[in-house]
Amino acid sequence: MSKLEEQQLQYILASLQNIQYGSVVITVHNGEITQVDTTEKKRFPLLKSHTAKAK
């Protein structure tokens, strides 16, 4: 495995380890990884006082 492939795999693994909710998209062109996009979502619990006021 080449040094570049090892760096790509390490980056992908780190992205997966550091994300709680979201997605990691790996773009491949001609059999080569060309791009890695990470989208992270933050979720906040609803407060009951806000829910009661909305009704």
User: What is the rounded distance in angstroms from the CA atom of residue 43 to the CA atom of residue 4?
Assistant: 34
Ranges of each domain in the chain:
3-54
Residue found under tokens 């001609």: 30
Residue 40's SS3 state is strand
For residue 54, is pLDDT > 70? no
Whether the Cβ atoms of residue 24 and residue 11 lie closer than 8 Å to each other: no
In which band, very low, low, confident or very high, does the pLDDT at 44 lie, cut at 50, 70 and 90?
A: confident
User: What is the rounded distance in angstroms from the CA atom of residue 44 to the CA atom of residue 25?
Assistant: 24
> What's the confidence (pLDDT) of residue 34?
95
> What's the confidence (pLDDT) of residue 43?
84
For residue 24, is pLDDT > 70? yes
User: What is the rounded distance in angstroms from the CA atom of residue 41 to the CA atom of residue 2?
Assistant: 33
Mean pLDDT of the chain: 89
> What's the confidence (pLDDT) of residue 15?
96
